[in-house]
Amino acid sequence: MLQRKVAFIDLSKEKVVVQNISKELRKKHLGGRGLNWYYIYNNVTPEVEPFDPENLLVIGAGFLTGLPTLGSGRTQISTKGPMTRGVGDANMGGAFGPELRYAGFDHLVIKGKAKEPVYLFVNDGMVEIRKANHLWGLDTYEVQKALKEELGDERVESMVIGKAGENKVYFANVMNNIKNAGGRGGTGAVMGSKNLKAIAARGMMDLQIYDVDNFIEYALQMNQQVLSTKWARTLSRLGTPLLYDVSYTTGFIGTMNWQYNTPGKEGEPLEAEYLQNYIVKHTACMGCSVHCRHRVKIEKGEYAGLVTEGPEYTMMGSFGTLVGCYDWDLVIKGNDECNRWGVDNLSLGAVIAWAFELYQREIITEKDVGFKLEWGDKDAVLKLARMIVEREGIGDVLANGFIEAAKKIGEDSLYYAIQVKGHPDLHTDERGVPSFALGIATSTRGADHLRSRPAIDLFQLPEDFLEKLIGYKIKSDFTAYETKGILVWWFELYFNIVDSLGVCKFQSTFNCPHCPQYDEYVPLLKYATGMDFTKEELIQIGERNYTMERLFNIMNGMSKKDDYPPERFFKEPNQRGLPFMKGRKLDPEKYEEMLMEYYAQHGWDENGNPKKETLERLGIEEPKPNFPEVE
């Protein structure tokens, strides 16, 4: 596990330098997301714009990626992102990360811009830059098939961009296979800006495991621990759509662009159980025993014959509640289109829903769009989506994300954009759940649920149980503000470790308190890598990594003002949902106290800047460029 290397690739100079990754760096950052941000923090200076050749695109396998346990098929993709102009970061499932490791590498640090379209071929310890003119313009499925054929090996795994990445749509994805998305953060747009169509990996290099017998036994035990939970059993059958039943019933699902917090009875057709009518088979990422994904087939209707994978819960908002459509056919069809285009369906959905509300409020009109944007109009949703990806008409404006689009449409329109730091939110409605609201607000990549969301907060677990899990007294009541700053802090560090190890959040304590966490990672790391970590050391690595992301955002002009949920969540109360959700909105004073509690827990000052003693304690120094000179 320790032999895997980092390749520094300069696309402008067409040069590659390979280096070892020291044990010392592992001790400080582990791998995956942690090491990715070590490279970016040190090498991307504030004057570098996201689409400048000097920006870095960093690909990282987690320290435990590619093992037969805990869904460790994960890859991290990091860059200075176009939407927030700060941390642009995505974590992708599938099989690319493991293949990258078999090919000899853990990290690829990519700089520069190719003169014409290229792809990288990573194979058994070497990286080759190859021409990709013939691949430019292909959708994400086609290009992967073409690469397998061209390289003559069906085991080739690629991470690619589609039309959205080529067109530098600000929320373009990197994709692997049908539905594994490095979504969020606009990493696909940065890849497109570098004229980099794909990275293909293929390898036959042995991955050394330190203690094979104990590892096999422990890996199996971990899988069994996960599979024994109700959460994993539900996920195995329904996938993430299971979340819909909870959120639409309770009332925390953004509806008609967050004007409402649930569609109520109208949303019944989208209940997870009805997806069963489409499921052909359950599939999994590499190294996953849970299999939360579906292969689906539409048997009848307009899209009859379509066989694809997915959709996830995200799409049930984007092409569902957010636009007032309650039809699995549209969710599945739209999901397939998004995957082919290589676009983040969360961000796309939020931007489309915003446009629909602007249309409702006559801030934009039929003349601006070319057609009507009426809630529930499926064709209008698909048409506008395509225009954004193709950058046609108003689509060209919307493709640049909320902040830039609002400059053209009118600053008032930004009130209706549900975003933080310019980054669109998942379709969850956080105004009734303070810990969720704080999490999207402080997330380093802008509004997002996968940086800290303490989903277990909703279970109202006994407080002594929570104290044992988190190490602090946490209030059981999920509508409370007090102590939730500490809860979010804990999950920020914890999810950083999960991403740095390259294991799956769905097999962590994200949604289930009985899944493996730090205590289990310690022996797993020992058996796999031979390195000793204590739980306390892991927590501190999470803290160090997270603080470096925070510093990167601060260097790029962000501050306390960017740590607030959308204004709408403070002003407009919930109108629907269960009795305890109705009428709820965020309380500005209590939010402020929660934010202060959160800063203090991080060792940051009242403006959200990490204190000097915190940086010293974590051993974080000023950025020092270390991208090797290649001439």
List interacting residues with another protein (CB under 8 A): 66-69, 95, 102, 141, 144-145, 154-155, 177-178, 204-209, 212, 215-216, 219-220, 223, 227, 230, 233-234, 237-238, 242, 245-246, 248-250, 265, 268, 271-273, 280-291, 295, 307, 309, 458-460, 578-580
Smallest distance from the beta carbon of 605 to another protein, in angstroms? 36
Alpha carbon 415 to chain centroid distance? Answer: 24
CA distance 64 to 529: 8
Q: Record the tokens describing residue 180, joined without a space.
A: 């594994």
Q: Record the tokens describing residue 66, joined without a space.
A: 């590619």
Smallest distance from the beta carbon of 379 to another protein, in angstroms? 28
Smallest distance from the beta carbon of 265 to another protein, in angstroms? 8
Smallest distance from the beta carbon of 276 to another protein, in angstroms? 9
Q: How far from 297 is each of 202, 272, 560, CA to CA, in Å?
A: 30, 15, 47
Q: Which is nearer to another protein, 220 or 304 (CB)?
A: 220
Smallest distance from the beta carbon of 219 to another protein, in angstroms? 8
Smallest distance from the beta carbon of 559 to another protein, in angstroms? 37
* Amino acid identity for residue 352 in this structure: I
Q: How far from 244 is each of 71, 78, 228, 267, CA to CA, in Å?
A: 23, 29, 23, 10
Strand partners, 123: 126, 202
Q: Of 420, 418, 484, 417, which Cα lies nearest the Cα of 452?
A: 484
Q: Which is nearer to another protein, 177 or 419 (CB)?
A: 177
Instruction: For tokens 């853990």, name the residue.
Output: 106
User: What's the DSSP call for residue 277?
Assistant: G
CA distance 24 to 22: 5
Q: Which is nearer to another protein, 476 or 540 (CB)?
A: 476
CA distance 388 to 383: 9
Q: 314 near 347, Cβ under 8 Å?
A: no
Smallest distance from the beta carbon of 234 to another protein, in angstroms? 5
Q: 156 near 39, Cβ under 8 Å?
A: no
Smallest distance from the beta carbon of 224 to another protein, in angstroms? 9
Q: Which is nearer to another protein, 7 or 156 (CB)?
A: 156
- Give the strands of the sheet with 307-309, arranged side by side: 279-283, 293-297, 307-309
CA distance 576 to 264: 7
Q: Which is nearer to another protein, 144 or 442 (CB)?
A: 144
311 upstream amide cis, omega within 30 of 0? yes
Smallest distance from the beta carbon of 282 to another protein, in angstroms? 6
Smallest distance from the beta carbon of 289 to another protein, in angstroms? 4
Smallest distance from the beta carbon of 201 to another protein, in angstroms? 13
Q: Which is nearer to another protein, 37 or 215 (CB)?
A: 215
CA distance 243 to 228: 19
- Per-residue burial over 244-280, b = 16 or more CB atoms within 10 Å of its CB, e = otherwise: bbebbbbbbbbbbbbbbbbbeeebeebbbeebeebee
Q: Which is nearer to another protein, 461 or 596 (CB)?
A: 461
Smallest distance from the beta carbon of 144 to another protein, in angstroms? 6
* Amino acid identity for residue 424 in this structure: P
Q: Which is nearer to another protein, 142 or 605 (CB)?
A: 142
Handedness of CA 75, 79, 83, 84 (dihedral sign): positive
Q: Of 113, 88, 78, which Cα lies nearest the Cα of 195?
A: 113
Residue 134 CB: number of other CB atoms within 10 A? 12
Q: Which is nearer to another protein, 184 or 202 (CB)?
A: 202
Smallest distance from the beta carbon of 238 to another protein, in angstroms? 7
Element (H, E) at 297: strand 293-297
Q: Which is nearer to another protein, 245 or 593 (CB)?
A: 245
Q: Which is nearer to another protein, 257 or 289 (CB)?
A: 289
Q: Which is nearer to another protein, 113 or 282 (CB)?
A: 282
Q: 487 near 457, Cβ under 8 Å?
A: yes
Smallest distance from the beta carbon of 598 to another protein, in angstroms? 24
Q: 542 near 418, Cβ under 8 Å?
A: no
Instruction: For tokens 């939407």, name the residue.
Output: 83
Q: Which is nearer to another protein, 98 or 446 (CB)?
A: 98
Q: Which is nearer to another protein, 5 or 295 (CB)?
A: 295
CA distance 157 to 148: 8
Angle between helices 463-470 and 484-501 (to 10 degrees): 50
Instruction: For tokens 């090996």, name the residue.
Output: 153
Beta strands in 404-522 (DSSP E): 419-420, 423-424
